[in-house]
Amino acid sequence: MTGAVPLNAYLILSAALFVIGVIGVLIRRNALIIFMAIELMLNAVNLTFVAFSRFLASMDGQIIVLFVMAVAAAEVALGLAIIIALYRNKESIDVDEINLLRG
Amino acid sequence: MEWLVFAPLAAVALATAVSVIVLRNPMYCALSLVGTFFALSGLFLLLQAQFIAVVQVIIYAGAIMVLFLFVIMLLDVGHEPPAWLRRDRPKLVLGMVLIGLLLLELAVAIGSRVSQGIQGPYTSEVVNAIGNTQLIGRLLFTDFLIPFEITSIILLVAIVGAMVLAKR
């Protein structure tokens, strides 16, 4: 356990965080928590970008991370507005009760 | 030496990420998510991405989490119904199988050692000589100018959309 941390350590950590996010999206009923799990996945991907940027000596990854953050901010603003609109209509943010799109 | 910084930060990131999806109270979940963001910010510092690390704290732990906490308090959903798992059990099992496959696929992809690409010009000596922030700014306004402008349109659409949705 000495020396520099290899790229694979970052990739494994990032994959683990991403999978935790996927599990959160699939099992939770609270729409807000599902949203947080989506943020978790975005952050896991950001870690991959920055790790590759460092180990391949390129700045592209860090700049893409900035764009990901901008898109995440826009997504959160819109998603939370949708959740508030849903709560006004149905008095609930339980995704098991919000099935208007179900055929 | 790097491991001494990496291991605790990775452990904190994983532990707080698990508690985000396990805890009942949405408020605690949001606070755990802040912990994840700070741990990842430390990892970005370790990867010599100083600007990204600071932006991570300001945008994610600052702006986005304030929005989340604001909505949690506004909706008063602090007491989620006891059953927090999805009700549809067959689909839940199917989802778990798919997660297992995803994990397997990621493990194979990471283990297969194809992740060696062409080295770019920005080694850490070059970056440290110019400065991380200055380099990002220069690239953002030269090579990445069009994506940068498109980002501003995305943010404008998000502002207008959020206002339209919230007004109804």
One DSSP character per residue, B96-163 reads HHHHHHHHHHHHHHHHT--------S--HHHHHHH-HHHHHHHHHTTTTHHHHHHHHHHHHHHHHHHH
- Indicate the residue type of B127: V
Chains A–B, number of C-beta pairs less than 8 Å apart: 228
Residue B163 has pLDDT above 50, yes or no: yes
Q: What angle do CA B124, A17, A76 make, to 5 degrees?
A: 95
Of B63, B3, B137, the C-alpha closest to A62 is B137
Residue B115's region, left for phi above 0, alpha for psi from -120 to 50, else beta, is alpha
Residue B153 has pLDDT above 90, yes or no: yes
Report the predicted TM-score, pTM, of the whole model to 2 decimal places.
Answer: 0.89
Q: What angle do CA A63, B43, B18 make, to 5 degrees?
A: 110
pLDDT class for B96, splitting at 50, 70, 90? confident
Residues 50-109 of chain B whose Cβ lies under 8 A from any Cβ of chain A:
51-52, 55-56, 59-60, 63-64, 67-68, 71-72, 74-75, 77, 80-81, 83-88, 92, 95-96, 99, 102-103, 106-107
Backbone torsions φ then ψ of B100, nearest 5 degrees: -60, -45
Residue of A nearest to B113 (CA): A8
A-chain residues near B85 (CB < 8 A): 27-29
Residue B115 has pLDDT above 70, yes or no: no
Q: What per-residue confidence (pLDDT) applies to A70?
A: 93
Can you read off the two tokens belonging to residue B133? Answer: 């922030």
What SS3 state is found at B30?
A: helix
Is the distance from CB of B63 to CB of B86 less than 8 angstroms?
no
Q: What per-residue confidence (pLDDT) applies to B46?
A: 92
Measured between CA atoms, how close is A17 to chain B, in angstroms?
Answer: 7
Q: What is the mean pLDDT of residues B1-24?
A: 91
Residue B123 has pLDDT above 90, yes or no: no
- Indicate the residue type of B69: L
B-chain residues near A43 (CB < 8 A): 36-37, 40, 60
Distance CA A59, CA B21 (A): 33
Residue B125 has pLDDT above 90, yes or no: no
Is the distance from CB of A61 to CB of A53 less than 8 angstroms?
yes
What SS3 state is found at A30?
A: strand
Residue B105 has pLDDT above 70, yes or no: yes
Backbone torsions φ then ψ of A30, nearest 5 degrees: -80, 120
Q: What percent of chain B has pLDDT over 70?
A: 93
Backbone torsions φ then ψ of A56, nearest 5 degrees: -105, 10
List pLDDT tens digits, range B32-64: 999 999 999 999 999 989 999 999 999 998 889
Q: What per-residue confidence (pLDDT) applies to B89?
A: 78
B18, B33, B135 ranked by CB distance to A36: nearest = B33
pLDDT, mean of each 10-residue run, chain A (103 residues): 78 92 88 92 94 88 93 92 85 77 57
List pLDDT tens digits, range B130-147: 888 899 999 999 999 999
Whether residue B71 and residue A37 make contact (CB cut-off 8 A), yes or no, is: no
Q: What is the mean pLDDT of residues B107-117?
A: 74
Mean pLDDT score of chain B, rounded to an integer? 86
A22, A36, A63 ranked by CB distance to B30: nearest = A36
Residue B9 has pLDDT above 90, yes or no: yes
Q: What per-residue confidence (pLDDT) applies to B54?
A: 94
Can you read off the two tokens belonging to residue B142? Answer: 């030269």
